[in-house]
Structures are given as C-alpha cells and as structure tokens.
Amino acid sequence: MKQEKMTKFISTQNADRKWYIVDAEDQVLGRLAANIARVIRGKNKPTFTPNADIGDFVIVVNAEKVKVTGKRALLKKYTHYSGYPGGLKVRSLEELRTRKPEFIIHNAVKGMLPKNRLGRQLIKKLKVYAGEDHPHQAQKPVSLNLMEK
C-alpha cells in the first residue's frame, strides 16, 4: 500500500507572524478593507488554516484620507442602537471622518472577518491611526502595497 501524504495544519503557536504597514491615503475603503482582512486572516499564506489564527499584524496610517466612491460620502450612515427606547444613534460618514476616522476602517475590516471567537481575536491584530505617526516602530513593520493584488 502506498502511504498518502497528510495535510499539515499550522497551530497558532507555530505561526510566523509579521507586521505590515499600509498607507490608506487615496485608497478605496472597501477594497482596502478586503485586502487587510485577507492578510489578518492569513489567507495570503500557503499555510492557511481556517480555524487558527495564523495571520499577520496590520498597521493602517492616514485613515482620515481614505476614499469612498460614488455618492457614498453623502449617503453612508453608521447606526448604533443602545437597546433603550430612543437609543438609536445615526452618524454620517463625513461626521465620523472628522470625529473618529479610525472607526471607519476598523468597522469595515471587522465586517469582513468571521463572526465568532476567532474573528474577535483577529480584529485585535489591526491597528488604525488617523495620521502618519504610530507607536509600532519597534516591531519593524514592512510596507504592504495592496494595489498590486
């Protein structure tokens, strides 16, 4: 009998983690978020394991300069409901861009990750900053060009 090759699954402890930095200036929000979610999940690696956290860390800078297409800048709304009567808060994209520009990218990437324990663990590997500066110089992040993919 011929010995068949077994599929190797990489565990979370054996994952080779890297730090990437992405400049969000003049990039379309949805495409940027989809590519970031792919890197955080680890789907860009040949050792991708669906049930394990083997992805990389991603730092996003210039979050306030991200683009949206069409009439989205005028029509997109973010809602939050506290659960109490009259507790619905609706904010526009432009209002959030001035108050909390990090939330726009964070929310878009979070929506593209699994809705379970793994997704809650993966979203912690996303670091978003409104301007150029970030406190992760010690990790030596490598620039990730998402426009090529």
pTM: 0.90
Tokens 């507790």 sit at which residue? 87
Predicted local confidence at residue 138, as pLDDT = 96
Helix (H) or strand (E) holding 59: strand 57-61
Residue 18 — very low, low, confident or very high, per pLDDT cuts 50/70/90? very high
Rama region for 11: left / alpha / beta (φ>0; ψ in -120 to 50; rest): beta
pLDDT in the model for residue 110: 97
Q: How confident is the model at residue 10 (pLDDT cuts 50, 70, 90)?
A: confident
What domains lie within the chain, and their CATH numbers? 19-68+99-148 (3.90.1180.10)
Instruction: Please enumerate in sequence order all residues whose Cβ is within 8 A of that of 70, keeping only pairs 6 or more positions apart, or say none.
Output: none
Give yes or no for a contact between 22 and 65, defined as CB atoms under 8 angstroms apart.
no
